A and B are shown apart, each in its own frame.
Chain A
Amino acid sequence: MKITLKLFATFRNGRFKVAEQELAEGTDVRQVVLSLGLTEEEIGIVMLNGRHGELDSKLSHGDTLSLFPLVGGG
């Protein structure tokens, strides 16, 4: 299956902004995070198709996964 993976803020350093990824069926968010060399603790916000997701969320073909470190503003 293919997903679109978007990275934000410091996660882009040495990586990318957006990329298509070919993943095995049943892959979850945690596996994608670890494959990027990131740790679970570094993850602030997981968005899956514009909604908040979890590290355990299973991915499906066509999903957009966005990963943010813990950041804020206002």
Chain B
Amino acid sequence: MDKIFRVNMTDLTTKIEEVPAAWAGLGGRGLTSTIVAAEVPPTCHALSAENKLVFAPGLLTGTAAANSGRLSAGAKSPLTGGIKESNAGGTAAQMLAKLGIKAIIIEGAPKTGAWYNLAVSANGVTINEEKELLGLGNFAVIDAVEARLGKKTGVLTIGPAGELKMTAANISVKDPDSKIRSHGRGGLGAVMGSKQIKFISIDSEGAKAVTIADPEKFKTAARAFSKALLDHPVSGEGLPTYGTNVLVNILNEAGGLPTKNFTTGQFEAHDKISGETMYDTIVARGGKHKHGCHAGCIIQCSQVYHDSEGKYVTSGFEYETIWGLGADCCVENLDDIARADNLMDDIGIDSIETAVMFGVAMEAGILPFGDGKGIIRLLTEEIAKGTALGRVLGGGAASVGRTYGVTRVPVVKNQGIPAYDPRSVKGIGITYATSTMGADHTSGYTIATNILNVGGYVDPLKKDGQVELSRNLQIATAAVDSTGMCIFVAFPALDIPECLPALIDMINARFGIALTGDDVTNLGKYILKTEREFNQKAGLTNVHDRLPDFFKTEPVAPHNAVWDFTDEEIDEFWNF
């Protein structure tokens, strides 16, 4: 039977607990949010001993199901002040699932200034004082942990940003190439830093195959599921070729590509940073245009980007990062953006929050728009070193806006708005406003239906149908985030009728249960309501489910669209 591993950083003890019956049917986001809601006082300071950091693999993680290797991390967010779940690929989730670990709960905080590492194995967790790797970047930590404990060791680590408890700090997860995937959003790296844990190693010795209640049924469902992923043009062909960055040109054409700190909706140099150009560049330099963030991924949306001399620069080079440093900061040089992406991974800072932040910093006059080299300099000289300016920048977009008196600050619940202008793609505005996570495109990705003609079509420039679209997607996403599945399985699930039943069949075959489609919808609703209740108790109410005023008053070219939902219309979201 799976277990809960609990780590108390106040008295430096660990224990292995049975899984309470109420948690048995949960995994991933459903489990991290349930645990945070049950055990963390909503009004606590997110960087205090009262907060807890929870890691949980999904319900299907560790099985042979395609794309099921995602890990959820949860806590109260120091950035939003609300509940947070951030999920990532890498090797850790599958290792934890195969070790029979349902969740790791890290609570308390050391009473002295000492730093620690946690060593997770089949026998439990040991807490070890750590001196050698403090201050190092994430790439060096991964190399050092592999040298110390072996090449196969799984690693969760924080960089200097997490050690300094910056609210944009992330948690890095070692990927199959010993590079990095990130629990990016919401400042969870700062929570790990507040527990004075530099890294967590995972030893998979003694890991077993995950038990499947009905192996034949599982195999049939897994085959149907994989087929749907490969048959759909988005997951089967578009993503492996161009990666997520194919969106630059599409959003630019649609007038929804936020540019120059959200002052216009199209970027003149869009082609230079586009997915098509990136693909040609990667192929010409001998990089990889397709690559998976975890074993068993058959979509392969990631890539390995090389410099002009054919040397590794970065991987997992995503649309939102390229949009943010590109269009939003007006940087035209993809190599500069790639270098900055690598630095953000090494420093351990969210590449969405930080890209949005640089747009605000440019408006504040800290550096000029278009200054890619300036971004690299501020990352290495200020943020990585934790100077006073670096700490302001490392606090994210809202922190810089507050400090420098900028009024055009694209955030909801303090979290930076990514990559899709809510004035010209209105469905995503409802998601940004209402998500329990703060502005987060992944929590209800209406771009699929507003822009990409996946799951039907809802006109992005009109208000009609957006609240319902966002609600349905947020409910479905909360459920999918509990399975360990990559969110991109939603593309085939929205269009191919066999896909979602196959996913549910896999869960049923894994546990010997009989969930229906309605049960899965109810799980999604339960998760959203649990998260919202936590947020309300923490002081985040419907008044915080709003976009910044400038979206209402500043029309965005080329459609001259404004954000025109009333408060009452937004609040309709929660009527379920």
Contacts and interface: CB of A to CB of B under 8 A. Distances in A.
Contacts, number: 89
A51 B461 contact: yes
A73 B276 contact: no
B250 A50 contact: no
Given A9-B238, A9-B242, A45-B453, A52 B459 contact: yes
A61 B281 CA distance: 35
A44 interface: yes
A73 B255 contact: no
Contacts of B488: 72, 74
B246 A71 contact: yes
Interface in A13-61: 17, 44-45, 47, 50-52
Given A8-B249, A50-B254, A52-B457, A72 B276 contact: no
B405 to A, nearest CB: 33
Contacts of A68: 249-250
A74 B459 contact: no
Most B C-beta atoms less than 10 A away, residue of A12, A47, A51, A70: A70
A40 B355 CA distance: 38
A9 B241 contact: yes
Interface stretch (B218-226, B367-375, B442-450): B442-450
Interface size class of B (residues with CB under 8 A): 35 or more
Contact of B253 (A6, A12, A74): A6
B378 interface: no
Contacts of A73: 238-239, 242-247, 275, 301, 319
B470 to A, nearest CB: 14
Interface string B197-233: 0000000000000000000000000000000000001
Given A74-B441, A74-B487, A10 B241 contact: yes
Contacts of A44: 233, 452-453
Closest 7 CB pairs of A and B: A73-B244, A71-B238, A72-B234, A70-B233, A73-B247, A72-B452, A66-B253
5 contacts: A9-B242, A69-B233, A71-B233, A74-B445, A74-B447
Interface of A: 6, 8-10, 12, 17, 44-45, 47, 50-52, 66, 68-74
